[in-house]
């Protein structure tokens, strides 16, 4: 009897699962892998980014419920399981100086305590592989950074019965690999930008590249490239399901699908922890695990 392959993706808000690694998840679902999304907050403080819904009083008043329904739809499209950790969205502080974070929000939780909620999910689902954000959060949203922190603690804590007792958190379990989502990387952005210009198509990435130059962003190590071009359509459909967050006529969808699939047919990850032998670069999140499963 072979062991079921299981992948857990830990995200900060509803919609993050559809904008970061969604095609990878859909690919693995199609191969029979059990995929579980854990969403840390309800996205209650997220702005309504779709111009078509801005000013909608029902949506504004019921944003938490609306975003839960959007998550339900995206989950069905991707074919994944999904659970909420139940923390409250911290919002994205803006201004100079930055305002304090709101009391009771996710980013102000005690890290070890908040990680306990994720430990329960890990011990219950027992994933061999976990994906999340790097220490910068992918971008510096306080909830993304907090998601990184609790995932790092929970990866090790799931196997620590002293720190997280089994009678409260479930039987101990040790995941084998931990990855950071790195889909928004410079090589991909430059490749798509240049391909569009070569074809005489306007690129949405010019400003992105300028900002990267201005802020001297340090590029991450891309260790793992997952071929998943056949699932880009599912990714986009799941993303559009988050209607409050995504304008279907906006920049996310300005690159024709055939160009995306031809020029950059993968999603990228950075291997952060591995308790199994593997060789880099990889084309499979389960490299070093699959032969034992």
List, as residue ranges, the binding site for Zn(2+).
13, 16, 144
- CA angle centred on 150, ends 147 and 156, rounded to 5°: 135
**What separation in angstroms does the CA of 138 have from each of 12, 16, 141, 182, 275?**
11, 11, 8, 7, 24
Specify whether the CB–CB gap between 85 and 38 falls below 8 A.
yes
Q: How far apart are CA 255 and CA 205, in angstroms?
A: 10
Distant-in-sequence, close-in-space partners of 247: CB < 8 Å, separation ≥ 6:
49, 50, 51, 52
Binding-site residue ranges: 13, 16, 144
Question: Going by C-beta distance under 8 Å and a sequence separation of 6 or more, which residues neighbour residue 22?
Answer: 78, 231, 234, 235, 238, 239
Please spell the DSSP secondary structure of 63-118, one letter per residue. Answer: HHHHHHHHHHHHHHHHT-EEEEEEEPP-----SSSPPPPPTT-GGGS-HHHHHHHH
Q: How far apart are CA 281 and CA 260, in angstroms?
A: 21
Task: Yes or no: say if 264 and 228 are a contact pair by the CB < 8 Å rule.
Answer: no
Residue closest to 239 by CA, chosen among 21, 8, 12, 52: 21
d(CA 69, CA 122): 24
Written as six digits, the tokens of 213 are: 């130059």
């Amino acid at each position: 009897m072979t062991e079921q392959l299981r992948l857990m993706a830990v995200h900060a808000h509803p919609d993050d699962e559809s904008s970061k690694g969604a095609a990878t998840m859909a690919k693995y679902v199609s191969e029979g892998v059990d995929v579980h999304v854990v969403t840390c907050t309800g996205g209650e403080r997220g702005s309504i980014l779709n111009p078509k819904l801005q000013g909608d009083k029902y949506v504004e008043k019921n944003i938490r419920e609306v975003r839960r329904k959007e998550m339900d739809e995206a989950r069905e499209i991707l074919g994944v399981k999904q659970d909420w950790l139940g923390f409250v969205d911290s919002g994205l502080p803006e201004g100079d100086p930055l305002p304090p974070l709101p009391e009771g929000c996710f980013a102000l939780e005690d890290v070890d305590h908040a990680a306990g909620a994720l430990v329960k999910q890990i011990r219950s689902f027992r994933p061999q592989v976990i994906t999340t954000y790097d220490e910068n959060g992918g971008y510096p949203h306080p909830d993304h950074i907090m998601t990184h922190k609790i995932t790092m603690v929970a990866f090790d804590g799931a196997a620590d019965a002293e720190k997280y007792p089994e009678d409260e958190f479930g039987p101990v379990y040790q995941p084998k690999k931990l990855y950071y989502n790195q889909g928004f990387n410079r090589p991909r952005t430059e490749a798509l930008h240049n391909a569009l210009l070569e074809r005489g198509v306007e690129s949405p990435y010019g400003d992105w590249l300028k900002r990267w130059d201005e802020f001297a962003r340090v590029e991450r190590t891309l260790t793992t490239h997952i071929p998943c071009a056949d699932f880009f359509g599912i990714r986009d459909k799941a993303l559009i399901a988050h209607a409050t967050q995504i304008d279907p006529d906006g920049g996310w969808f300005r690159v024709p699908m055939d160009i995306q699939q031809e020029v950059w047919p993968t999603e990228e990850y950075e291997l952060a922890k591995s308790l199994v032998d593997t060789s880099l670069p990889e084309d499979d999140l389960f490299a070093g695990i699959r032969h034992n499963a």
